Amino acid sequence: MKYNIKKRIASLLTLALVFMLALPSGNQAEAAPAGINLEVKSAIMVEPTTGRILYKMNENEALPPASMTKMMTELLTLEAVKSGKISWDDKVKTSEYGHWMGRYGGSRVYLGLGEVRTVKELYEAMAIYSANDATVMLAEHISGTEENFAKLMNQKAAEIGMDNSYFVTSTGYPASGLKQFIPNAEGDNLMTAKDSAILAREIIMNHPEALEISSIPRKFFRGEDSPQKVRMDNWNFMLPSLVYGFEGVDGLKTGHTDAAKYCFTGTAERNGMRIITVVMGAETEAKRFAETKKLMTHGFNNYKMQTIATQGKEIEGFETVEVRKGKELEARAIPERNLVVPVRIDDEANYKPVVTTQEVIAPVKKGQSIGKIGVEYSGEDLQEYLRPTDQEQVMVQLVAKEEVEKGGMVRLFFRAIKSFVVGIFDSITGMF
C-alpha cells in the first residue's frame, strides 16, 4: 500500500516536472515573434557588411523621406572631404537662402546673413540637430547652388543602386514651402525604405567616422559660452542616454513632415553584429522609435554573425588546388580573409563554405588568387540582398599559402610522358 502511494507521488512529480520543462523560459518569452507586425507604411532591416535583408515590408514604395534626405548630403559631404575637394576647416559664409532657412526652415541653428561657420560645424548641426540652414550651406559650398547639388544627389543615388529615389532639395524640406527659393525642378523628394538602407550602408561602411558624430546626444552650436549658442539635442531619441534609449544605437537619421509623418533610419551594434533598420510613415514620434525597437529586438534576438571560413585556415576538402607546369603538382590554399555572414540562430548548420577554383599555371606567388569561397545554404530562410552585386561581394578570395615555382623542362617532359602512359593504361583497362 505504501509502495503504491509512493509510486503515485513519484508519477505526479514526474508529470509536474515534464509540464514545467515544456513551459517557455523567460528568454524565449522575450524573443520577438517570427512575424513582426509594424504600424508603419514601410520598413526594412539589413545586415550592412553583407547587405543581406533580414526583414522587409513595402520596402520598394517611394515615400517622402523628410530629413532622412540629409543622409545623402552627409554622404556627399564626407566624400568631398575624403577626396580633398573641401576641408572640415573650410569657412562658409551664409547666403540669403541659408539665412532664410535660419529664420523659417524648421529645425535650424539660426544662421545670420553673412555669418561664417566651418564645414565641420555645419556638418555637426546637420547630423545631430537636423539643421536645415546648415545643410543648405553645405550644399552650396560643395556645388555652388542647391539645384546643382540636387543633380549630384541623384547621380550618386543612381551610382550606388538607389533605383527608386528622387531628390530635389538637400534637406528634405518640402520644396513647395521654400517660397522664393523653390527649386527649378518637378516633384519633391522621394525615397524607399530599401534605398534608405542602401544609403545608410554606404555611409556606415565607407565613412564609419560619421557614427562618431551621429551618436553625440547633444552639443552647443557656436560654443556653450556664446550668447548666441543653440543647444542641439539629437533627434535620435534611441541613443542609449536618451528617452527611448536602446543599447548599441549610434545613428543615424530621423525625419518628419506632415506628408512623410515620422521616419527613422537607425543603426545599432551588439555582440559583434550591426544592423540597419528603416521605418517610414509612423503616426507619432514615439511610434517610430517603438517600431524600430521591435525590428532591432527581433534582429538581435534571432540572428548572429557566423564565420564560414577563417583567414589563413585551410578549408576541409579544399586544402589544395592543382597547378599546371609547376615544380609541385598542387598549391596549398587558404582564405584571404574571414568569410562572415549573418545567420538565424539555430540554423547555423545549414551554412557551409563552397569553393570554386580557377586554372592555375606556375609560377604561383604566395597570396595569389587561385579561387573564390562563397556560402552554400541548405535551409529555408530567404537569402535576399539589397543589390544584385552584394551576394557576389560576400565571397572571399582563395589564395596560395606558399609559392610554387615553375617546373624545369626535363621535369615537365617526363611528367608529360608519365601522364600519357597512364592515360593509355586507363583506356586499355577500361575496355575490359
CB burial class (10 A; 0-12, 13-18, 19+) of residue 282?
buried
> Which residues, at least 6 apart from 88, have a Cβ–Cβ distance to it below 8 Å?
81, 118, 119, 120, 123
Please give the angle made by the CA atoms of 10, 11 and 15, to the nearest 5 degrees: 115
DSSP 111: P
Which of the following is catalytic: 41, 42, 67, 215? 67
SS (H, E, C) 269-334: EECCEEEEEEEEEECCHHHHHHHHHHHHHHHHHHEEEEEEECCCCCCCCCCEEECECECCCEEEEE
Which of the following is catalytic: 130, 165, 196, 215? 130
The grid coordinates listed for 235 are 533627434
What is the spatial distance between Cα 362 and Cα 329, in angstroms, rounded to a whole number? 9
Which of the following is catalytic: 41, 56, 70, 294? 70
Is 130 considered catalytic here? yes
Is 365 considered catalytic here? no
> Which residues, at least 6 apart from 191, have a Cβ–Cβ distance to it below 8 Å?
62, 63, 65, 68, 69, 162, 164, 165, 166, 199
Contact at 8 Å (CB) between 202 and 184? no
The grid coordinates listed for 336 are 584571404
What is the spatial distance between Cα 100 and Cα 78, in angstroms, rounded to a whole number? 25
Distances in Å between the Cα of 175 and the Cα atoms of 66, 112, 129, 282 are 11, 22, 20, 22
> Which residues, at least 6 apart from 196, have a Cβ–Cβ distance to it below 8 Å?
44, 65, 68, 71, 265, 278, 280
What is the spatial distance between Cα 109 and Cα 122, in angstroms, rounded to a whole number? 9
CB burial class (10 A; 0-12, 13-18, 19+) of residue 272?
exposed
Nearest to 407 by CA among 326, 324, 323: 326
- As annotated, the active-site residues are 67, 70, 130
